[in-house]
Amino acid sequence: MDLLEGLNAAQREAVLSTEGFVRVIAGAGSGKTRALTRRFAYLVTELGILPGNLLCVTFTNKAANEMRQRIHNLTGDEDTGYINTFHGFCVSILQEDSHAVGYPKSFLVLDNSDIDAMLQIIYDERGLTLRDMTFSHARDMIEMLKLKERPDYYEDMITLPLDTLKEKYRKATSAKDIIFYGYLYQEKKCFALDYNDLIEFSLHIFRTHEDIRLKWQKRLEYIMIDEFQDIDPPQYELMQVLCGYHKNLFIVGDPDQTIYTWRGADVRYLLDFDKVYPTTKTILMMENYRSTPQILAACNSLIAKNQNRIKKDLLPTLPGGAPVLCHHAANSEQEASWIAEQIKALHAAGTPYRDMAILYRAHYLTRNLEEVLLREKLPYTIYSGVQFFSRAEIKDALCYLRMIACRDDLSFLRIANVPKRNLGARRMAFLKDYAAQNGCSLYDALRSNLDGELLRGTKAGKFVSLIESFTATYAQQPVSELLAAVLNESGYEAMLRTEGSQARLDNLAELKQSIYAYETTCGEECTLEHYLAHVAMFTSADLDDPRDQIRLMTVHSAKGLEFPHVFLCAMNEGVFPSRKTRTLPGMEEERRLCFVAMTRAQKALYLSEAEGRNLDGSPRYPSRFLLDIDEQLLTFTRTPREDLIRQAREYIGFSSRFLDEASLPDAFAPGTRVHHAVFGDGTVLEIDPVQKAQLIQFDSMPTPRAISMRAKLERK
């Protein structure tokens, strides 16, 4: 096929601009995925570039899978090169070169449930409880320590012997240090890496091993990065390293869709790209193929109110459609009822439920919606992004696969006694003690004591035989077939059938299908180790749900998706924009988030808000984002009272005066010694950007104090 067929001028230019630094500013729905896939296919089929010498970075596994399939359809080649997320690509680096950091190729990639399992071990060993710190807080703390306070943490994981790291953990006294060093110890003990580690370990290898760095630089002749507005500093450094030899870098992004600055994303990398690389060619891709002119007009009107942006409008290509409806309800219950009525009318007219999505700023807003949808017997699903892979049967199945490949303690603890093998608490305690005394894994402890009195009368021998037999043969089997066999021979599926758990059996069938689909897009590279490393980064967003259900999700979850009919609800001040927004840059990000939500709609967009009271008792006003849109671009089904609009504008004007356009005042980095005129000397523990405060432990006080960044502090 002609790879340029059906492309507009900007898309064609993007495909043909193969050499040097290229920046594409691509608006929502402008066909950037088409341009990326055609460019990849053009490099391979027309220029003769080997697929294995191409890297295409996406920000979700789903996007990567879709792109692989599209490229396969265009080229007919099973080899689709490196099409992956940053973390997924780092897995490929480490699977090839983990020897440079002393790790095996079969290292584990941790997800949140694995991290929680490690935390449970630490809490049990050191007598911590959830009162000391919840698991959620502990996960966030570990991530912030790795990113901010102790960015060189990975050197401990790489260079320190396991016993030395264990000693650091044992000597730690504060809950913070106990959890952090206990976690690093557990990671190293299992040869496990979390998402932060994947990038930091890869960067460490490139910094310290010139030969490996040069090998990857030479291999990757062309690099393409999607969603460049969401890139963070470590990812940016990795990108700079990888393109350092051939200097062929193609980036795509939209400053108007920057919604992850709270996660470290920095849109300046996109905006200043041509300053860093002066030879950059910039291409504007503004023609929208997703939404009707009515939807785009409202979107353009909204985002134009942001000051810090590249001024541009999305250009419609589709014929006219329905007006953008805006509904004002007397209360939240009536708002939910109105949404349900619209859905019923659409469905009666032939629209499937799966073509409708209800978006909201935060999950707590679903209560009224769910009550009404249940009452009206309307089918729906809450799209959280983690549900499927967090289900017990899915975790169990994946742990069986991990036992075959890695034999790690986390997997052992989860499935050694599932189904029941008489390996209860007493026998598990014995195995833990034996493993600690002999410096071995729990599986090796079990294997060494099979003939002991304590394990007689158990099914431990059968479990070991099962693992050993599959370990010897798994390399010759596709992963999907291996999973089917191990679930059968372990007795796991029989256990579920005995329990009558059809839903759980259906979930396992869905997992097998997802593995099969993954195998077909990955080709020969889909080994068991490869799949296990990548599945740890999967979410429910990576699985297509064929059921005819209304999708409920946060706006952040909706990024990258599209739906024929979109309902954006709870458009009220203090909700959307969030009441936590305290700066002008923060307000602009909230407006970009609203823009992202509205641009998900293809055929029809419904905006709604309700009167009432907020949790603090204050009156609820329509969102400034509704008032930002030119009035003639909205069709009101029920118009708010004039006095309410006047009060809303007064409130917005008043609150805007407190938005500080400047960035945060200069703050001292955690660990810095400072002097306060009254409190004396102290140490900065952490920074709170929301409150614009620094948490300081003063030498004269038993507990820390949150001190405003505006306070005068001197560096010691």
Given 95, 257, 342, 458, the catalytic residue? 257
* Euclidean distance between CA atoms 484 and 481, whole angstroms: 5
Answer yes or no: are the C-beta atoms of 607 and 568 closer than 8 Å: yes
The beta-carbon contacts of 90-96 under 8 Å, at least 24 apart in sequence, are 90/198, 90/199, 90/201, 90/202, 90/238, 91/198, 91/530, 91/533, 91/534, 93/202, 93/205, 93/216, 94/193, 94/198, 94/201, 94/202, 94/205, 95/529, 95/530, 95/533
Our answer to whether residue 227 is catalytic in this structure is yes
- Give the integer Cα–Cα distance in Å for 421 and 418: 7
Q: How far is residue 116's CA from residue 111's CA, in Å, rounded to a whole number?
A: 9
Q: Where are the beta strands (DSSP E) in 58-177?
A: 82-84, 108-109
| CA–CA distances in Å: residue 527 to residues 82, 396, 516 | 15, 19, 12
Is residue 371 annotated as a catalytic residue, yes or no?
no
Q: Note if 226 is an active site residue.
A: yes
Q: Which of 109, 78, 77, 80 is nearest to 93 (CA)?
A: 109
Distance separating alpha carbons of residues 264 and 236, to the nearest angstrom:
11
- Pick the closest to residue 440 from 190, 635, 677, 657 (CA basis): 190
Catalytic residue at 342? no
Helix (H, G, I), strand (E, B) or coil at 372: helix
Residue 114 bridge partners (DSSP): none
CA 173 from chain center: how many Å? 33
Distances from the Cα of 504 to the Cαs of 489, 494, 499, 531, in angstroms?
18, 12, 10, 22
Place of tokens 């899978």: 65
Cα Rg of the chain, angstroms: 27
Closest CA to 389 of 559, 536, 502: 536
d(CA 46, CA 81): 16
Q: For this structure, is 32 an active site residue?
A: yes
Q: How far apart are CA 235 and CA 86, in angstroms?
A: 7
- d(C-alpha 606, C-alpha 629), whole Å: 14
Q: Catalytic residue among 97, 111, 226, 542, which?
A: 226
Q: Which of 68, 176, 600, 603 is catalytic?
A: 600
Which amino acid is residue 678, in one-letter code? Answer: V
Check if 140 is active-site: no
Reference 397, options 528, 493, 503, 521; nearest CA is 493
Distance (Å, whole) CA 64 – CA 542: 9
Active site residues: 32-33, 226-227, 257, 600
